[in-house]
């Protein structure tokens, strides 16, 4: 430490009287006395304050845990599917009747590309009209509307319809923490690019603006994002919406998927991969399976935390009890499925929901009807859900047999079918199924392929699983249950109707 070399002040002798204070002149203001510091809390007060803060922190942690552990309620649905389907009743009618909604592409839907469609697969699940759009209703000018990808237009319309179904007037959501998550991959409309392309065209067609457009139009201030994981995009969007709700990032969330085919270019590329069925029929798990057919559509679900939906007296279509994502990693090729990853993602969703294999009565499969994909997927289903179920029946289906493959919206089509199955306590037939693919071993699994509408016994489990696997390797699985699966106790505490203690561990064991 440095020393101070300055002389020390002389000390006053002890006998020297202190100098008398000099009176301040009259003009000098009297100094304001400094307030004495507040006395420190007595030890008992400090202890009480600490206890109170600890209690607040503990209650907050409990509420966060309850929020993160509860199911989500599906309170609204909007959809546009092939065959003119635009509501859940129409969807169920088509499924129960075993309708094949794949048709030839009409001349009007070919647009300016009729010559380029020659020689390509022209059968698919097509919507009737995709260019019609009431731009004025959404406050969009004619020039901007013409430069807006029809997929973005469709999202605006179906989001509005989903909110109407949820009895949530869109104007009530303005400046609220409402999220929007959409699975979208295709960019066919870029082939309609005009000669005078400008920034308006760029904003109207970039994938990221699909979510931003809906959030902007409705005034939503929660998270909004577009998700592209190929075929699993829309189910990944559901998982992300669920996570945002459980983390408290939003109070309401819309999860969506959309896919339109408005140019032959993408069909030409997929044809070159050899994945399309020559006869235009998707035949999942059948001995004749030889590929899928392309399809269009849009589906949107409006989600809330279950306790919030019950507090608000919402009509609840179904609940989402759990979800999980993972990746194939290094499989046979970048587009090849990985059975271990499929096993793991189903088991993880079961554990997330606190359920066991015995709680799942129906599995809505990815089911593309391909020689490579079907055996791998059924092997994963049998491993996690089939063999550990103690003889209970598990039906397996794929809506691609009815609609074709909706690609980025495929997971949403499967989710909506699963919602209908848990609502109706019935399972529709798997269209085009005749003979089980000989490469599928279902012995001792309890797995059955429905060939007609079957009643769903609660003894076989009350939940449905939905799988969606992206060609880029991203896998998603979501578990759906009926609206009455939980009972609210106290302030937002949800007691589930699963298998009880140890259910999560049992779900994980099912994958071993």
Q: Taking 70 as the threshold, does the pLDDT of residue 255 lie above it? A: yes
Q: Is residue 52 part of a domain?
A: no
pLDDT, tens only, 443-463: 999 999 999 999 999 899 999
Closest to 215 (Cα-Cα) out of 159, 172, 162, 260: 159
- Residue length of the chain: 512
Task: Look at residue 441 and give its three-state secondary structure.
Answer: coil
pLDDT at 473 over 90: yes
Q: What distance in Å separates the CA atoms of residue 489 and residue 495, rounded to the nearest whole number?
A: 7
Per-position DSSP letters for 450-496, written without gaps between them: -SS-EE--GGG-SEEEEEEE-TTSEEEEEEEE-TTSEEEETTTEEEE
Q: Is residue 60, in this structure, part of any structural domain at all? A: no
Q: What is the mean pLDDT of the chain?
A: 88
Confirm whether 243 is domain-assigned. yes
pLDDT, residue 470, reads 98
Lowest mean pLDDT among 46-55, 299-308, 352-361, 409-418: 46-55
| pLDDT value for 31 | 55
Does a structural domain hold residue 4?
no
Give the pLDDT of residue 390: 80
Question: 326-347 burial by CB neighbour count: b if 16+ within 10 A, else e?
Answer: bbbeebeeeeebbbebbbbbbb
Cα(320)–Cα(476) distance, integer angstroms = 13
The pTM for the full model equals 0.84
Per-residue pLDDT tens for 136-155? 999 999 999 999 999 999 99
At residue 144, the 3 state secondary structure works out as helix
In a domain, 398, yes or no: yes
What angle is formed at CA 199 by the lines to CA 195 and CA 200, rounded to 5 degrees?
Answer: 85
Exposure pattern of 287-316 as b/e (b: 16+ CB <10 Å)? eebbbbbbbbbbbbbbbbbbbbbbeeebeb
Residue 423 CB neighbour total at 10 angstroms: 15
Angle in degrees, 0-180, between the axes of helices 88-96 and 410-424, rounded to the nearest 10: 80
The answer, yes or no, to whether residue 63 has pLDDT greater than 60, is no
Instruction: With CA atoms as reference, report the closest residue to 420 among 497, 468, 483.
Output: 483
pLDDT at 226 over 80: yes
**Overall number of domains in the chain:** 1
The yes-or-no verdict on residue 386 having pLDDT over 80 is: yes
More confident residue, 510 or 179: 179
The 3-state DSSP class for residue 182 equals: strand
Q: Are 235 and 468 in contact (CB under 8 A)?
A: yes
Could you give the CA distance from residue 384 to residue 244 in angstroms, rounded to a whole number?
A: 28
User: What confidence score (pLDDT) does residue 43 get?
Assistant: 72
* Residue 361 burial (C-beta neighbours within 10 Å; 0-12, 13-18, 19+): buried
Q: In sequence order, what E strands does 293-378 have?
A: 297-305, 318-327, 360-364
Name the band, by pLDDT with cuts 50, 70 and 90, for residue 7: very low
Predicted local distance difference test score (pLDDT) of residue 37: 64
Is residue 468 within 8 A of residue 232, CB to CB? The reply is yes
Tell me whether strands 297-305 and 252-259 are parallel, antiparallel or unpaired: antiparallel
Give mean pLDDT, residues 63-81.
Answer: 82
pLDDT of 32 reads 57
Mean pLDDT of 363-379: 97
CATH number at residue 380: 3.40.47.10
Sorted by sequence, the CB contacts under 8 Å of residue 376 that are 6+ apart come out as 337, 338, 339, 342
Positions annotated as catalytic residues are 231, 366, 405
Is it the case that residue 254 has pLDDT exceeding 60? yes
Establish if 428 belongs to a structural domain: yes
Report the pLDDT value the prediction gives residue 388, as an integer from 0 to 100: 83
Domain residues for 115?
Answer: 68-481
Average pLDDT over residues 198-222: 98
Q: Do residues 121 and 271 touch, judged by C-beta distance below 8 A?
A: yes
Alpha-carbon span 59 to 324, nearest angstrom: 28
What pLDDT is recorded for position 284? 99
In this structure, the strands spanning 318-327 and 72-80 are antiparallel
User: pLDDT category, 2, cuts 50, 70, 90?
Assistant: very low
DSSP 3-state of 77: strand
Region 278-283: mean pLDDT is 97
Residue 11 resides in a domain = no
Given a cut of 70, whether residue 326 has pLDDT beyond it is: yes
The predicted pLDDT at position 506 comes to 35
In a domain, 490, yes or no: no
Residue with tokens 């994502």: 325
Q: Which two tokens stand for residue 47?
A: 């202890």
Q: How confident is the model at residue 391 (pLDDT cuts 50, 70, 90)?
A: confident
What does the buried/exposed string (b/e) look like for 427-465 if buried means 16 or more CB atoms within 10 Å of the residue's CB?
bbbbbbbeeebeebebeebbbebbeebeebeeebbbbbb
Model pLDDT, residue 502: 34
Percent of the chain with pLDDT over 70: 84
The single-letter DSSP state of residue 219 is T
Q: Are 481 and 321 in contact (CB under 8 A)?
A: yes
| In 168-327, alpha helices (H) | 199-205, 208-218, 233-246, 265-273, 306-311
Query: pLDDT tens digits for 187-206?
Result: 999 999 999 999 999 999 99
């Amino acid at each position: 430490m440095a020393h101070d070399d300055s002389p020390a002040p002389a000390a006053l002798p002890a006998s020297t009287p202190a100098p008398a204070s000099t009176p301040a002149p009259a003009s000098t203001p009297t100094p304001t006395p400094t307030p004495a510091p507040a006395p420190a809390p007595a030890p008992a007060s400090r202890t009480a304050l600490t206890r109170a803060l600890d209690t607040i922190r503990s209650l907050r942690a409990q509420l966060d845990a309850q929020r993160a552990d509860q199911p989500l309620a599906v309170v609204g649905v909007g959809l546009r599917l092939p065959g003119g389907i635009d509501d859940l009743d129409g969807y169920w009618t088509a499924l129960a009747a075993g309708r094949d909604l794949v048709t030839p592409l009409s001349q009007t839907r070919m647009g300016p590309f009729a010559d380029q469609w020659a020689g390509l697969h022209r059968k698919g699940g097509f919507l009737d009209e995709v260019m019609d759009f009431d731009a004025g209703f959404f406050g969009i000018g004619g020039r901007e509307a013409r430069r807006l990808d029809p997929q973005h237009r469709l999202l605006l319309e179906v989001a509005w319809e989903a909110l109407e179904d949820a009895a949530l007037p869109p104007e009530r959501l303005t400046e609220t923490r409402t999220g929007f998550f959409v699975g979208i991959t295709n960019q066919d409309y870029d082939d309609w690019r005009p000669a005078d392309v400008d920034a308006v065209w760029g904003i109207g067609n970039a994938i990221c603006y699909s979510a931003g457009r809906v959030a902007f139009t409705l005034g939503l201030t929660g998270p909004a994002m577009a998700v592209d994981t190929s075929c699993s995009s829309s189910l990944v969007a559901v998982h992300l919406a669920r996570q945002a709700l459980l983390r408290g990032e939003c109070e309401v969330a819309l999860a969506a998927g959309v896919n339109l085919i408005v140019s032959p270019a993408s069909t030409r590329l997929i044809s070159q991969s050899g994945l399309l069925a020559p006869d235009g029929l998707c035949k999942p798990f059948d001995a004749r399976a030889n590929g899928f057919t392309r399809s269009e559509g849009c589906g949107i679900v409006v989600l809330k935390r279950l306790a919030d939906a019950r507090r608000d007296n919402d009509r609840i279509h179904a609940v989402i009890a759990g979800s999980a994502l993972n990746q194939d990693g290094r499989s046979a090729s970048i587009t090849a499925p990985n059975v271990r990853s499929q096993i793991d993602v189903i088991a993880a969703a079961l554990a997330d929901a606190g359920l066991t294999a015995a709680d799942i009565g129906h599995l809505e499969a990815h089911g593309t009807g391909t020689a490579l994909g079907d055996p791998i997927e059924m092997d994963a289903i049998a491993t996690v859900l089939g063999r550990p179920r103690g003889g209970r029946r598990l039906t397996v289906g794929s809506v691609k047999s009815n609609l074709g493959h909706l690609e980025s919206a495929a997971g949403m089509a499967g989710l909506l079918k699963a919602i209908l199955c848990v609502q109706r306590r019935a399972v529709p037939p798997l269209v085009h199924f005749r003979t089980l693919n000989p490469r599928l071993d279902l012995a001792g699994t309890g797995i059955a392929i429905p060939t007609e509408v079957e009643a769903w016994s609660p003894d076989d489990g009350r939940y449905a699983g939905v799988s969606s696997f992206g060609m880029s390797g991203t896998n998603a699985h979501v578990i759906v249950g009926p609206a009455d699966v939980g009972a609210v106790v106290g302030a937002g505490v949800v007691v589930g109707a699963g298998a009880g203690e140890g259910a999560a561990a049992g779900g994980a064991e099912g994958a071993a």
